Amino acid sequence: MNYDLNKLSEQQKKTSTYAALQSLLKLIAHERNNLLIAMVFILMNSTINLLGPFLIGHTIDTYIQYKQYHGVLVFSGILLGMYLIGLCTSYFQTKLMGSVGQRLLFTLRNAIFNKLQQLPVAFFNANKAGDLISRVNNDTDKLNTFFSQSLMQFIGSIAIMVGAGIFLLLINIKLGAAALIPGVLILLFTQLVSPWVKRRNATNLKSVGGMSAEIQESLNNFRVIIAFNRRDYFRKRFSEANQDNYNTAIGAGLANNLLLPVYSLFSSFGTLIVLAYGIYLISAGQFTIGLLVSYLAYVTNFYNPLRQLASLWTSFQVAMAGWDRIAQILSLEADLPIIANSPAEASTALVEFKNVKFGYHDGTEILHNVSLTLERGKTYAFVGPTGGGKTTTASLIARLYDPTSGVVLLDGKDIRTYQPEERAQKVGFILQEPFLFTGTVKDNILYGNPQYQNYSNQQLEVVIKEANLESLLTIFESGLETRVTSGGDSISLGQKQLIAFMRAVLRNPEVLILDEATANIDTVTEQLLGDILNKLSANTTRIIIMPTA
C-alpha cells in the first residue's frame, strides 16, 4: 500500500467539490441542529434585507409622494424594528457558528491524531513529520475559518441573491431578465475557474507543509548542523522552501483575488442595464419612480451578495483544498490487518520465518526467502554487515512490517493473528536509537506497561530489584525521579539505552531483541547487562544484533 500522502494526492482522481463537501458533511452530521438553527437565523436576516427595499419603495409611492407623513413614520418604525431583529439574528448566528467551527476543529484534530496512532511504521517512513503537523494544525484551521466565518454568510448571500432575483423578475419580467444576464455570466465564469482556484490553493497548502517539514528537520538536527558548520546548507534549503511557499502563496492569492474585480465589473453592468432600461420604461409610462428606486435596491441586493460570494467562494475553495489533505489521512487504512488463526501454520518454535521475502516500498527486496527457527529460552546473535538486513529481520519479528511473501510465526501462530497488545507483550524490542518522552526515568520505564502503572517508587524499586535491574538504576543521579526530556537530550546516549533496556526487561517479554543496544555503553555496564540477560526467565529468547567485527 502506498502511504506517501504527496504521491497519493497526485495519483488520486480529483474529487469534485460536491463529493468533497458530502464527505465533510458526514463528519459534522451531529451538528445538524445547530446548523439548522443558524440557517433559520440567516434566512430571517436575508428576508429582512429583502423586505427593506420593497417597503421603502412602497413608502415613497404611497406616502412620500402624497406628503402623508404619518405613514412615513409608521413604516420607518417597522423598518427600524426589522433591522433590530436582523441585528439579533446575525449576532446569535455568528456566535453559534463560531462554536460549531471550534468543535469541528476539535473533532477533526482528534480524528486525524487517532488515525495517525493507528497507521503503521511504513506511513511514518513515507511522510515527513512537519507536513503531518501542518495538516493537523494549519489545514484543519482553514476549515474552521470557513465554518465559523464564511458558511452562513455564504448561505445568507445565496438566499438574498435568489430572493432579490425573484423580486426583480416578479416586478418586471423583461427588466428582471436584462438585470440578471450579467449574474448568469458570472456563475458560468465561477464554474469555469473554480477547479483552478482550488488547485492553486492545494499547491500552496502543500508547500506550507513542505516548509514545516524543512523547519522540523533542521531543528531536529541542529547539533549536526552546528558541528559540521552547515548552517548555510540548511539556510539555503529553508530559503528555497520559503521561496516556493512565497511563489505558491502569490499564485493562490492571484487566483483568490481574480473573482472579486470580475464580479464588481459585472454587477456594475447589471446596475447600468437597469438604469438605462428603467428610465426608458418610466418615460414610456410603464414604470414608476418608486418602483425604480426599489428595483435599483434589489439589483444592489442581488449583486452585492454576489460580490461577497466571490470572496466566500475563495474561502470555500481554500477549505476544500485543506479538507482534501485531511481526508487523505483519514481515508488511509493500516495494511497490517489481524487475520483469523490458521492451524496449518502451527510451529513449536517461539519464532519461525518460513520463506520470508521482504522489501520496503521502494521495491528493492531486502530479505530473500529467509527461513529460520528460534527456540524458546535460547540466545541468538544476528551478525552481519551494515545494511545487511538485521534490523529489518527484527522489525518483522515485532511486526512493524508484514513480509511481502512467506510467513512469520510467533509462539506457533501466524504473527498476523495476534492483537497488537498481545504481540507487544510477547516481543520486547530495544531500538538502535531509543526514544524517550519528557518526564522522569520512572515514566519512561513504565511506558507501555500497564502492570506497574500505579506502583509507588518504593514498590517499583522492589520490582526492579527482583528483575536484577537495581545496579542500572544507580547510574541515574536521582534514581526513578531523574528528569528526562523528549529525545533524551539531558542524558547520555548510553543512559538512554539503559532506560530502554529497563523498559523492555520489566515487561518480561518472551522474545527480547537488542538492536546494537549496547553500542554506547562502557564495558563494565555492558557486563552488568550481560548478567541481567543471563538471569532473565529461562523461557525468554534473546536476540542480540551486532555488526560484523
Ligand X SMILES: Nc1ncnc2c1ncn2[C@@H]1O[C@H](COP(=O)(O)OP(=O)(O)OP(=O)(O)O)[C@@H](O)[C@H]1O
Residue 125 in the binding site for ligand X (CB under 6 A): yes
Which helix (H) or strand (E) segment is 523 a member of? helix 523-534
As a whole number of angstroms, the distance between CA 364 and CA 231 comes to 34
**Interface with ligand X includes 52 (CB under 6 A)?**
no
387 interacts with ligand X by CB under 6 A:
yes
Work out how close the CB of 374 gets to ligand X at its nearest, in angstroms, rounded to a whole number.
17
Instruction: Give yes or no for residue 523 binding ligand X (CB under 6 A).
Output: no
Does 392 bind ligand X (CB under 6 A)? Our answer is yes
In the complex with ligand X, the residue whose CB is nearer, 384 or 479, is 384
Stretch that binds ligand X, among 191-199, 290-298, 305-313, 388-396 (CB under 6 A): 388-396
Q: How far is the CB of 390 from ligand X (least distance, A)?
A: 4
Residue 520 binds ligand X (CB under 6 A) = no
- Output the smallest distance, CB 134 to ligand X, in A: 22
Kindly tell me which residue out of 390, 399, 416, 503 binds ligand X, with binding defined by CB under 6 A. Answer: 390
- Host H or E run for residue 153: helix 151-171
Residues 496/432, Cβ–Cβ less than 8 Å = no
- Cβ proximity to ligand X: between 126 and 445 the closer is 126
Query: Which one, 194 or 393, has the nearer CB to ligand X?
Result: 393
Counting contacts by CB under 6 A, is residue 420 touching ligand X? Answer: no
Would you say 285 or 385 has its CB closer to ligand X?
A: 385
Q: Which residue pairs from 291-296 have beta carbons closer than 8 angstroms and sit at least 24 positions apart in sequence?
A: 291/57, 291/61, 291/171, 291/172, 293/53, 293/56, 293/57, 293/60, 294/53, 294/54, 294/56, 294/57, 294/58, 294/171, 295/57, 295/168, 295/171, 295/172, 295/175, 295/179, 296/271
Query: Which one, 125 or 369, has the nearer CB to ligand X?
Result: 125
Nearest C-alpha neighbor of 494 from the set 464, 543, 528, 467:
528
CA dihedral 512, 546, 409, 370 (to 10 degrees): 180
Q: Shortest gap between Cβ of 234 and ligand X (angstroms)?
A: 23
Strand (E) or helix (H) holding 369:
strand 365-374
Residue count at the site for ligand X (CB under 6 A)? Answer: 13
Question: What is the nearest approach in angstroms of ligand X to the Cβ of residue 444?
Answer: 23
Q: How far apart are CA 344 and CA 261, in angstroms?
A: 71
Cβ-based burial of 82 (10 A; exposed 0-12, middle 13-18, buried ≥19) = middle
Taking the C-alpha atoms of residue 52 and residue 347, their distance in angstroms, rounded to an integer, is: 83
Quick one: which of 33, 117, 229, 386 contacts ligand X (CB under 6 A)? Answer: 386
Residue (253 or 547) nearer to ligand X, CB: 547
Judged by CB under 6 A, the stretch of 5-13, 79-87, 196-204, 387-395 that binds ligand X is 387-395
* Interacting residue with ligand X among 86, 210, 278, 389 (CB under 6 A): 389
Least Cβ distance, residue 402 to ligand X (angstroms): 14
Residue 547 is a binding residue for ligand X (CB under 6 A): yes
Cell 545496579 found at: 471
Please give the full DSSP string across 63-97, using - where no structure is assigned: IITTT-HHHHHHHHHHHHHHHHHHHHHHHHHHHHH
Three-state secondary-structure class, residue 542: strand
Instruction: Burial-class residue 468 by CB neighbours within 10 Å (0-12, 13-18, 19+).
Output: middle
Closer CB to ligand X, 126 or 469, in the complex: 126
Least distance to ligand X from the beta carbon of 404, Å?
Answer: 13
- By beta-carbon proximity to ligand X, the closer residue of 198 and 390 is 390
Region of 32-40, 100-108, 236-244, 383-391 interacting with ligand X (CB under 6 A): 383-391
Q: Write out the binding residues for ligand X, residues 305-364 only, by CB under 6 A.
A: 360, 362
The 358-377 site mask, x for binding ligand X (CB under 6 A), equals: --x-x---x-----------
Query: Residue 336 CB, nearest distance to ligand X (Å)?
Result: 15
Element (DSSP H or E) covering residue 105: helix 69-118
Using CB under 6 A, pick the residue from 46, 49, 148, 391 that binds ligand X: 391
Q: Which residues contact 25 (CB under 8 A, 6 or more apart)?
A: none
HSE-CB of 221 using CA atoms within 13 angstroms: 14
CB of 370 to ligand X, least distance (A): 12
Grid coordinates representing 307 are: 460580490
Contact 274, 294 (CB under 8 A): no
| Residue 531 to residue 525: CA distance in whole angstroms | 10
Distance of alpha carbon 406 from the chain centroid = 35
Quote the least distance from Cβ 536 to ligand X, whole Å: 23
Which lies closer to ligand X via its Cβ, residue 125 or residue 534?
Answer: 125
Residues 91-120 that bind ligand X (CB under 6 A): none
For residue 302, which amino acid is it? F
Q: If 0-12 CB within 10 Å is exposed, 13-18 middle and 19+ buried, where does residue 239 land?
A: exposed
CB of 393 to ligand X, least distance (A): 7
Among 388, 406, 439, 479, binds ligand X (CB under 6 A): 388
122 vs 504, beta carbon nearer ligand X: 122
269 binds ligand X (CB under 6 A): no
For ligand X, the closer of residues 253 and 494 by Cβ is 494
User: Where does this chain bind ligand X (CB under 6 A)?
Assistant: 125, 360, 362, 366, 384, 386-392, 547
